[in-house]
Structure formats: C-alpha cells, structure tokens
Amino acid sequence: MTANSVLKSLIVATLVLCVGCAFAQVPTQTGKIEILWLGQSATRITTVTGKVIVIDPFLTQNPKTPPQYKNLDALGKVDLILVTHAHNDHLGDGVELAKRNKAQLWGPAGLDQSLQTLGALPPELAPRMNKGGTITPLGPDIKITMVQASHSSEFVWKNPDTGKDETYPGGEPGGFIIEFENGFKLYHMGDTALFSDMKFIAEYYKPDLIMIPIGGHFVMNPKDAAYATNQFLKPKFAIPIHYGTFPQLKGTPQEYQQALGSTATKVFPINPGDKLTF
C-alpha cells in the first residue's frame, strides 16, 4: 500500500465513523434521574442510563398538561409505560403511546387483561402483573414493584361498533416503587386514600422520593397526605400531585406544606412542565 492509498483509506474510515456517530441512538447518560411532571399523575422519568419511563400518561385531554406536551411525540422515545389504575385520568393516552413506541404498558393484571380481550393492545404490549410483583423489563438494574393503593379501577371503553361507552373491570389499583440504576427509589403512589400499610411500604422499600396525591375527594386531601408523609413515609423528598385538574380536586401544595409543618422532608411544589433531577 502506498502512503497515498493509506491516507485515502483513513479518510474513508473516518467518514464512515462520523456517519455512524451522527445516526447512532446514543442515550443521554447524565448520571442523574430526571422527573418531568405533566399534571395530575402524568410523569416522564429519564433514568440514569437514559431509559424513558412514562407513568399515567393522561396528556391530550389533561387540562393541566402544558400545550407542547399535548403532542405525544414531544415525549421523545418512550421505553416503558406504567399505569397505576384504569381511570381515564391515568390510563389516558397509554394505549396510543404503547402502539406508537412499540413499548409495553404495564398496569394491574385486570386492566391489561381487559386491554387484551378488547383488542386494544396485543398481549406482548399489555403484559400482566400484580401487587407484590417486581418486574425488570428495562434490564436488571431498574426494578419496578407494584404496591397497594386504596382506590378503585373500573375501565370505560368506547365500543367501536356501537360508539357507546362500556364499563369493564380494570384490576385493582396500585402504586409503583421504582429502584433506579444508582439505587435511588421513587414511590409513585397513584391514586389512594390514607392507609396504614404506607408505613410498611416505607419500612420495607425505603423510598427516597414520593409523588403523593393531595387533591382530596377521590384521593387524600392535604391533611391526609401530610399525615402519610410525616407519620408513615418520612421520605427525603416529596412532590405533591393530583390536584387542581378538576374542580373536586381542591387541595393545594400550600395546604399540604402548612399541614406538614416543620418536617425533614423536602417538598417540591412544582408546576406541570417542570423538571427536577435527583
């Protein structure tokens, strides 16, 4: 090989490499966990190694979701969808999001069974799990456990043949404990009343951050949520959610903080569209 041809080969190799790097899907590795809250319970989480998990994706019909996130593509690539229960302000755009991203939608077994039976999602995109189960669909370093919630989970589906709403069983409602690659643990509580096993959940799973419903009427009010935080859960961090979306959900983060009083928990009263990193 002459010096000239070596040089030519090097140039070609460099070009090929550069084309490769421009199109490679390199996940963002920040070393941190990013939480983007989108109103009600809707949350997009980017994990330490750049995996994207969306919980309770009620977006296009959510009055509190910022306009730029009404377009489902604005979420970027979604690797996994978690749904705490079947109510429309939680399942929301989950089916559409699962189809678009070919991403699994994990929820209470009864909800995923109904989605399968109705033909809303194929079985491979609607796998079944239940409370106490731990799944690792994103690899062994991210562990997702479904825990108890005190709520209901019926499921309203528009029959495409009649155009009429029909009600189906949506399994039992839950919350999710997610343990990330670095050991940090989030407890997304879903919709729930105050119940004393929150104390057990905290002792057993030791969550660092809770996302806790405070709106009242269908879930805990600020006083209940403050009791749960101070007496049962005692997390390092708390993000109040599920308030202000509908007229019945009257509780406010200010009332929650007032009811908490002096506490070791750092509360983030963020707005829909805000991001936090941990």
Distances (CA, A) of 40 to 68, 91, 99, 242: 16, 12, 23, 4
Secondary-structure percent of the chain, ordered helix, strand, coil, rounded to 5: 30, 25, 50
If the CB atoms of residues 184 and 187 are measured against Zn ion, the closer one turns out to be: 187
Instruction: Mark the segment that binds Zn ion (CB under 5 A) among 36-44, 98-106, 111-119, 186-194.
Output: 186-194
Q: What are phi and psi of 111, to 5 degrees?
A: -70, -50
Question: Nearest distance from residue 87's CB to Zn ion, in Å?
Answer: 4
Question: Nearest distance from residue 262's CB to Zn ion, in Å?
Answer: 32
79, 191, 224, 255: residue in contact with Zn ion (rule CB under 5 A)? 191
Is position 56 an interface residue for Zn ion (rule: CB under 5 A)? no
Closest CA to 150 of 228, 204, 48: 228
If the CB atoms of residues 83 and 177 are measured against Zn ion, the closer one turns out to be: 83
Is position 87 an interface residue for Zn ion (rule: CB under 5 A)? yes
Is position 181 an interface residue for Zn ion (rule: CB under 5 A)? no
Q: What tokens does 247 get? A: 């007229």
Sign for the CA dihedral angle at 227, 232, 233, 236 comes to: positive
CA distance 108 to 9: 56
Question: What is the number of the residue whose Cβ is closest to Zn ion?
Answer: 87
Instruction: Mark the segment that binds Zn ion (CB under 5 A) among 117-125, 188-196, 205-213, 259-267.
Output: 188-196
Instruction: Mark the segment that binds Zn ion (CB under 5 A) among 24-32, 48-56, 80-88, 249-257.
Output: 80-88
The residue ranges that bind Zn ion (CB under 5 A) are 87, 191
